Structure 1
Amino acid sequence: MTTKTVSDSNSPLIESRDQLIASFAKGEKARDRWRIGTEHEKFVYSRADHHAPSWDEPSGIRALLTELQQYGWKPVEEGGKIIALTGADGSVSLEPAGQFELSGAPLDNLHQTCAETGRHLDQVKAAGDKLGIGFLGLGMWPDKTRAELPIMPKGRYAIMLRHMPRVGTMGLDMMLRTCTIQVNLDYASEADMVQKFRVGLALQPLATALFANSPFTEGKPNGYLSYRSHIWSDTDPARTGMLPFVFEDGFGYERYADYMLDVPMYFVYRDGKYIDAAGLSFRDFLKGELSVLPGELPTLDDWNDHLSTAFPEVRLKTFLEMRGADGGPWNRICALPALWVGLLYDQGALDAAWDLVKHWSMEARQALRDSVPRLGLDAPVAGRGTLRDIVAEVLDIANAGLAARARLNSSGDNETGFLDPLRDIVRTGKVPAQQLLDRYNGAWGGDVSKVYEEQSF
């Protein structure tokens, strides 16, 4: 989630709806300027007893953020408390219960992405060794109740924690108990954005299945392969979902701006503090009629903040965010951007992926999204059997797209090798959650705590 790092005092006022639409057009970039931004979250735990450390306890989250500053990271404070870091590799931020996130820098190729990930993990593991804490790569806490988890001292989270139970039954689980990997990608034009958005939405359930890694809740199997994905089904219907309008004729920047104007607000950031605006309308804000700031018009920073409070399966800002994957181990952090870069950054691959999904009805897309959290690759695809029947084809398209990019490392290797963890899933027939369940029912003897030994970074 977004962390404020600069003042909003110089942001231009929004005086017309056209400025909102234009904000998306400003994201357009020539192909040679397209970049890859990878975000990944991990759970932090005490090695002594596996509890989730609070922000202020000895060897807790504050201590971890402080320890990392030796690597050149600069602190970001809110209310006098360090809540994030910024540096050459992007930013380090905290999810509501202390999940630790790297929002990586925009990079040219996947070799750089994986090197960045490796640097970050080396740093946090070294800091963890000193503090007695570890890092777990899963999509959901396997053994923690909500009550066992701390809350980080960030103003926007306090507002969201109050609001979530008003609009869904699982929003607090989303905030406190889940981790994800996502990738942020560029577009060249409005038409390019539309095609990428549509392919990304249609195939997001496939990514969810391949990265499904959250089969446990409070120490027991929960009946799902991606419980994290299931949680989104009842978090807040006004700001989540598969966005049917994206596939309608005429979709573009204007239609997405209208969607975001209909998404209820969470907050407004002023003078270093978050003002509770939960449930209020950005349309009223545009008219100077927001009840918590009467007479004020929003700024572009306010609009960008608001864009970060919608959580559909694919999200548009000045780039596109692919949001369907559970958190996981190191090699899958690199595999997710490989999948989407391969599919979306080469025109031949993008056209082939669109040809694969363009005939799916909205009902079929929604049914696929609804069934994937339980069934994974066995989820039915209208007219094509199951996801298992098309996954190899999708990976072949991604492989071709990566090969066509021809981004080579110093050894002369292209980027296709980063798809290997996904090819292994096709070969074994089992997504990560199914492999964990096999371990739980076999070698672990029903003891989910073994996951800390096998899934930590």
Structure 2
Amino acid sequence: MTQLDASARQNLEPVEDKAELTAYLRSGCKPKDQWRIGTEHEKFGFLRDTLEPLPFSGERSIQAVLDGLSRQFGWGRLEEEGHLVALKKEGASITLEPGGQFELSGAPLSHIHQTCNEVHDHLDQLKTICEPMNVGFIGFGAAPYWTREQMPKVPKPRYEIMRRYMPKRGNLGLDMMHRTATVQVNLDFESEEDMVQKFRTSLALQPIATAMFANSPLTEGKPNGFRSWRAHIWTDTDPDRTGMLHFVFDDDFGFERYTEYMLDVPMYFVWRDGKYLDATGKSFRDFLEGKLDVAPGQKPNIEDWKDHLSTAFPEVRLKTFLEMRGADSGSWGRICALPALWVGLLYDSQSLAEAWDLVKDWTQEEREALRGAAAKDGMAAEVGRIKVQDVALKALEISSAGLKRRAEQDTMGADESGFLAPLFDIARKGESFACQLLRDVEAGADQRTLFERYAF
């Protein structure tokens, strides 16, 4: 938290009722010509000579990489309790997950060509800074070799609160924090009706994305029995704030219903007087009534609500936009493929209607079963009449057609549909990248071989 943030918060008016919280969500509605694409991807840093995780501080460290990016490429610095923990520049930011995972939160962009250029520029800057340090970065859904204890611990106060609380709610929460990495895209909506249709469609299809992007079959160097261990981890993290949110498919779902859901998600923390206060397990409803015991007599402001919205981790998350959260991190091409998939499905009205037709008859039990099956079996997953490979191929065809209708072209005249090529290859073969990793290991590839082969 910067000093500017702290000062600004002191001047905010308190929220008086639930309607203001719902109005914040509704404020995300915008006309189609203002829709944008915000892509986020996480990756693991490592020391190329020892293959150990990149430590938080030191001559070759997370701090050193952030400092280098700031000095050489003009990124603005954000510090917390004396530590450099984030960078900002031109609508984009670089932040740190609890285990030191580097996350690029991209600027809101108009099309996937810009997104892919942004990813390329970011990775090129990282390479420039990291090569003299003999440091590398790699994209997997979960750390394939390192133990939880080996991972660096980013010393942010909010993370310390979460570290204490996570083991009380599930067995794998600390692994989620320190040993997983994702790629996601944030997308806009025009109205409440548009939000609802996009939320339902993308939530049902999230396990299909999980299967296509599955890239975490190894834990501490051995097969873990899952194609996406990252996706499995989320099933044993915290049932109060994760999952498929089946109420999204109820007739009365909308902004107000999501507000009610978030009011029932237990709190993690509250920011007051320049520090994070531990509010784990406490009620935002009590906070709204001025009855939060760690901040007696105080009511939340809208920044507190924004903080709270960020502490729920369902497969699709609503803020003033929708976040697609089902995919493992991966290579450069798959980072670009994720926003292409969802933009093609959700930003074209014909595609959105066709994608909904794919999933509208699925039952709650089928949607829930697909989530587990996709994590375990990837593209080979089947739940009754639903075969993941078949649905993936149909979804990709719908997405491709939607991207072609968008007709956003690069300087060579190519539209955005070409970014789906890695996913079409996966869907046609019926094998995610996890299968390739397992074959590499079976053929005798060790950690050094895999890191040299797949690092950015």
TM-score normalised to structure 1 length: 0.97
User: What amino acid maps onto 1:338 in structure 2?
Assistant: A
Pairing 1:304–2:306 present = yes
User: What amino acid maps onto 1:166 in structure 2?
Assistant: K
Segment drifting more, 312-321 vs 72-81? 72-81
User: What amino acid maps onto 2:328 in structure 1?
Assistant: D
Pairing partner for 1:336 from 324, 335, 338: 338
Q: CA deviation at 1:30?
A: 0.2
- 1:164 aligns to what? 166
Assess if the C-alpha contact under 8 Å between 2:2 and 2:80 holds in 1.
no
CA distance in structure 1 between the partners assigned to 2:53 and 2:13 by the alignment: 41
Percent identity of equivalent pairs: 55
For the residue of structure 1 that corresponds to 2:41, the secondary structure is strand
Q: CA deviation at 1:453?
A: 1.1
* Mapping 1:198-213, distance limit 5 Å: 198-213=200-215
* Mapping 1:423-434, distance limit 5 Å: 423-434=424-435
Assess if the C-alpha contact under 8 Å between 2:188 and 2:321 holds in 1.
yes
CA distance in structure 2 between the partners assigned to 1:197 and 1:61 by the alignment: 35
Assess if the C-alpha contact under 8 Å between 2:400 and 2:417 holds in 1.
yes
Q: CA deviation at 1:411?
A: 1.2
- 1:85 aligns to what? 87
User: What amino acid maps onto 1:210 in structure 2?
Assistant: M
CA distance in structure 1 between the partners assigned to 2:411 and 2:17 by the alignment: 49
Assess if the C-alpha contact under 8 Å between 1:14 and 1:298 holds in 2.
yes
Assess if the C-alpha contact under 8 Å between 2:393 and 2:428 holds in 1.
no
Assess if the C-alpha contact under 8 Å between 1:220 and 1:448 holds in 2.
no
Q: CA deviation at 1:89?
A: 5.2
For the residue of structure 1 that corresponds to 2:377, the secondary structure is helix
Q: Deviations over 1:389-415 (max 9, x none)?
A: 222111000001101111111111110
CA distance in structure 2 between the partners assigned to 1:177 and 1:112 by the alignment: 29
Pairing 1:387–2:399 present = no
Pairing partner for 1:358 from 360, 372, 395: 360
CA distance in structure 1 between the partners assigned to 2:228 and 2:449 by the alignment: 19
CA distance in structure 2 between the partners assigned to 1:10 and 1:229 by the alignment: 40
Q: Deviations over 1:209-251 (max 9, x none)?
A: 0000001001111111000000000000000000010001110
CA distance in structure 1 between the partners assigned to 2:79 and 2:100 by the alignment: 15
Q: CA deviation at 1:4?
A: 9.8
CA distance in structure 2 between the partners assigned to 1:320 and 1:228 by the alignment: 21
What residue ranges of structure 2 are gaps of 5+ in the alignment?
none
CA distance in structure 1 between the partners assigned to 2:408 and 2:240 by the alignment: 40
Root-mean-square deviation over aligned CA pairs = 1.3
Assess if the C-alpha contact under 8 Å between 1:342 and 1:398 holds in 2.
yes
Q: CA deviation at 1:48?
A: 1.4
User: What amino acid maps onto 2:410 in structure 1?
Assistant: N
User: What amino acid maps onto 2:325 in structure 1?
Assistant: R
Q: CA deviation at 1:443?
A: 5.0
CA distance in structure 1 between the partners assigned to 2:438 and 2:116 by the alignment: 28
- 1:291 aligns to what? 293
Pairing partner for 2:96 from 94, 112, 115: 94
User: What amino acid maps onto 2:262 in structure 1?
Assistant: M
CA distance in structure 2 between the partners assigned to 1:235 and 1:226 by the alignment: 15
Assess if the C-alpha contact under 8 Å between 1:43 and 1:137 holds in 2.
yes
What residue ranges of structure 1 are gaps of 5+ in the alignment?
none
Q: CA deviation at 1:3?
A: 9.5
User: What amino acid maps onto 2:418 in structure 1?
Assistant: G
Give aligned pairs, total.
Answer: 453
For the residue of structure 2 that corresponds to 1:107, the secondary structure is coil
Pairing 1:184–2:186 present = yes
- 1:62 aligns to what? 63
CA distance in structure 1 between the partners assigned to 2:75 and 2:418 by the alignment: 30
